[in-house]
Structure 1
Amino acid sequence: MDFVQAVKSCLTQYATFSGRAPRSEYWWFFLFQLLVMVAASMIGDVVYALASLALLLPALAVGTRRLHDIGRTGWWQLLLLTGIGFLVLLFWWVQPSADEGNAHGEPFAA
């Protein structure tokens, strides 16, 4: 998946928390989000706040789908609230896709 496809996929599935997202989709959208945030911060605080708000839901959705792709539940993103939990999530987000799981992207059965 290339940059444009990943951004289109994430923005069209902006509130879809089921399914799976490959590493490329997640990281290309992460780069897009970073570029938008840098550009918005150069324009002004209000634009930055609006851009952050607009990209929050798609970022959470693609993060959830990425966690589903490695066999975890999207609720693990709550670790972001702890600060140090970002390192755990970063480790999981860079993992290769798991072969198991169902077509709906639900987490694996224990």
Structure 2
Amino acid sequence: MKGQILDFSLQKGGGLIQAEDGKRYLFRASEWQHTNDPSAGQVVEFVAADEKFAIQVHPILTIKKPSPEPTQKIQFAHTATRTATTTPDAISLWQHAVTAVKDKYTQFTGRSRRREYWGFFLFFNLISLGLLYLVLVGSTISEETASVLSLPYWLFCVAVFLPQLAVSVRRLHDINKSGWWILIGLIPLVGGIWFIILMCTDGTPDDNQFGSNPKNIE
């Protein structure tokens, strides 16, 4: 598969490739099959190990040909740029919410962008309200029914407590703040408002002390 390198850093230990079909793939420095370091804009060939990672990455060597070859390269670069600017975020809010629970259940390190945090927050509250509504319906029948229906609600709240805490800490890391800032929500009156403002703040555009910008690897 052909693609174009969008970013590479030895400090990060890898880079990012924009494929011809518009998809993006991460690759490790160990998968680079050439003596010279890769650079942004370089056209390469690679093997897609899965939907996210590329292996066996090597540059497409320039062969002396008439003018059509440079023209094709320029056209491909233009197409890749146009695709990157017109393609929406590949990861939906629902996928962010599932990832926060399935793959990052107790991950308190790294960074989470606003889309991941609010995706989790949205579906967490929708499911919570749905389960709570069942409890209210059960209370109109009998106290015993309400007690039985309240069990799924409390089990759900307990199950998502850690991922909810973890995604909040990672969101604070994204704006270059310690996870202990989560305690600001305990301040009466202003604490909750301040915490919401922090969760709405865009992350630092470059790497910070907690890791790389998550927007560059999604």
TM-score by length of 2: 0.45
Q: Give the number of aligned pairs.
A: 105
- Residue 81 (structure 1) shift: 2.6
Of 203, 208, 218, 1:101 maps to 208
The structure with the largest strand share of the pair is 2
Across the aligned residues of Structure 1 and Structure 2, the Cα RMSD in angstroms comes to 1.6
Larger of the two Rg values belongs to structure = 2
Whole-angstrom distance in 2 between the partners of 1:103 and 1:81: 24
The answer to whether structure 1 residue 86 and structure 2 residue 192 are counterparts is yes
**How far off its partner does 1:79 sit?**
2.1
Question: Please, which runs of 5 or more residues in structure 1 have no aligned partner?
Answer: 106-110
1:67 aligns with 2:157: no
Q: Which residue of 2 aligns with 1:108?
A: none
- The residue type paired with residue 155 of structure 2 is L
Of all paired residues, the percent bearing the same amino acid is: 33
Runs of 4+ with deviation above 4 angstroms: none
Alignment of 1:9-24 (within 5 A): 9-11=99-101, 12-24=103-115
Does structure 1 conserve the Cα–Cα contact (< 8 Å) formed by 2:94 and 2:120? no
**One-letter amino acid matched to 1:96:** D
Q: Name whichever structure is richer in helix by fraction.
A: 1
Give 1:80 deviation, angstroms: 2.4
RCO (CA 8 Å, sep 6+): is it higher in 1 or 2? 1
Match of 1:29 among 105, 116, 120: 120
Structure 2 segments unaligned to the other structure (5+ residues): 1-90, 136-149, 213-218
TM-score by length of 1: 0.85
Counterpart Cα distance in 2 of 1:53 and 1:68: 24
Distance (Å, rounded) in 1 between the aligned partners of 2:165 and 2:203: 18
